[in-house]
Each structure stands twice: as C-alpha cells, then as structure tokens.
Amino acid sequence: MTQRRLRLGVMGGTFDPVHHGHLVAASEVAAEFELDEVVFVPTGQPTFKQDQDVTPAEHRYLMTVIATASNPRFTVSRVDVDRAGLTYTVDTLRDLHAARPDAELFFITGADAIEQILSWKAPDELFEMAHFVAVNRPGHTLSTDGLPADRVSQQEIPALAISSSDVRARARGGAPVWYLVPDGVVQYIAKHGLYRGNDE
C-alpha cells in the first residue's frame, strides 16, 4: 500500500498579534486542500517591516500558540523566531522541508502578500518548494497574474476586515479587541501591557 504524502499548510506572518482573519484563512484552506496540518510560523525580524517597531518575537510566538492550541490540526513553528537576521520565506520553506522532507508544502497568503511575492527572495525556488494558496482580504484585490499558474491557487474565504495594525491601534487607544482576536490573546495583550506605549 502506498502512503499518501503528508499535506502541510504553512501560514507565515508577523502575527503582531495573531487574529481571526489568520485563523479563518488557515482553517478554510485546510478544508479545501485536505491539509493534515497547518503550521503557523511567526517571523523573526520581518523584511518588509524594518521601519516599524515589531513586538518581541517571543510575545508573538506565545500569542500564536495560545490562538492555535485548541485546534488539533494547527501547530506553531519556531524556525523563523530562532533564525538570526531578517526573515525570508525561502528560508522558512527550506527549514520546514529539512524537518519534514516527505511533506508536500502549501503556503497560505492573503491577497496583499501574494501581490508582493515576486519581490521576495528567490521567487523561483519558492514556487518549487511549495504550492501557494492566495485568499481574499477586504481592501485588497485578489490577483495572481504573473505567477506560475500550476503552483498558485486562489481561494475565496469569508471576508474578515481585521488587521493586526488595527488591533494594535485599538489596544493603544483603549478600544476593545474582543472578538477580533481569540479570548486568550485579548488576555495576553492585557497581561503584558502590549501595544500601550513605545516600549513594546
């Protein structure tokens, strides 16, 4: 009997903080593509966010663990958090491939991120290493023009107009973040006073 290859979704992000838009995207793509597992990979130092303050990786990692803990198919990887220097997705995929050589990788992105993919490091290798699944996101047009059609798919998901930037702005201004992020993440933000001042 030949064994089916493990189908592994990869949800990369800054997750500052993780919110229900990320979780719905991962869940919907997992169902449609029959993924066995989706691994969330919080970035170390994000390449495209060098001009802004990003919350220390350990907080972002722990919030991602809290948000995904109740889903038996969701896991969190430290590969990007533990790698020194800027985070490049090609390194993420290389590390995940090295750890799980038999798995078929499906990289999940929102409409804004897929638009930029050709500007990422080593785009040809990216498409060799993973199949890309792009989902719609409010405020962005979902287009995969110019990308290799056999390595990129589009998927419609319920549109959640949630962004980490908005969650941070709300927390900073004392507005509620309930129901935008999982309850445990609301409590983690309050417990550690995240997004309050300039220190975090």
The two three-digit tokens of residue 145, written as one number: 């023009």
Pairwise CA distance, residues 169 & 196, whole Å:
9
Cβ atoms of residues 158 and 131 within 8 Å: no
**HSE of 122, CA atoms in CB hemisphere, 13 A:** 13
Contact in structure between 61 and 78 (CB atoms under 8 Å): yes
Minimum CB separation of residue 125 from ligand ATP in Å reads 19
- Which one, 14 or 68, has the nearer CB to ligand ATP? 14
Check residue 112 for interaction with ligand ATP (CB under 6 A).
yes
Quote the least distance from Cβ 1 to ligand ATP, whole Å. 37
Residues 88, 190: Cα–Cα separation, whole Å:
31
User: Is residue 110 part of the contact set for ligand ATP (CB under 6 A)?
Assistant: yes
- The separation between the first and the last C-alpha atoms of the chain, rounded to the nearest angstrom, is 53
160 lines the binding site for ligand ATP (CB under 6 A)? yes
Among 135, 147, 171, 189, indicate the residue that binds ligand ATP (CB under 6 A). 135
Site string for ligand ATP, 75-104 (x = CB under 6 A): ------------------------------
For residues 33 to 62, the per-residue mask of contacts with ligand ATP, x marking binding by CB under 6 A and - elsewhere, is: ------------------------------
Which of 77, 87, 92, 109: binder of ligand ATP (CB under 6 A)? 109
Site string for ligand ATP, 164-193 (x = CB under 6 A): xx----------------------------
Judge whether 57 and 48 are in contact, CB under 8 Å.
Answer: no
Residue number, 5 or 158, with CB nearest to ligand ATP: 158
- Which spans in the chain are helix H? 20-32, 57-68, 79-82, 89-99, 111-115, 123-129, 164-173, 183-192
Burial of 124 (0-12, 13-18, 19+ CB in 10 A): exposed
Selected binder of ligand ATP within 8, 9, 10, 13 (CB under 6 A)? 13
Which residue ranges make up the site for ligand ATP (CB under 6 A)?
A: 13-16, 21-22, 25, 109-110, 112-113, 135, 137, 160, 162-165
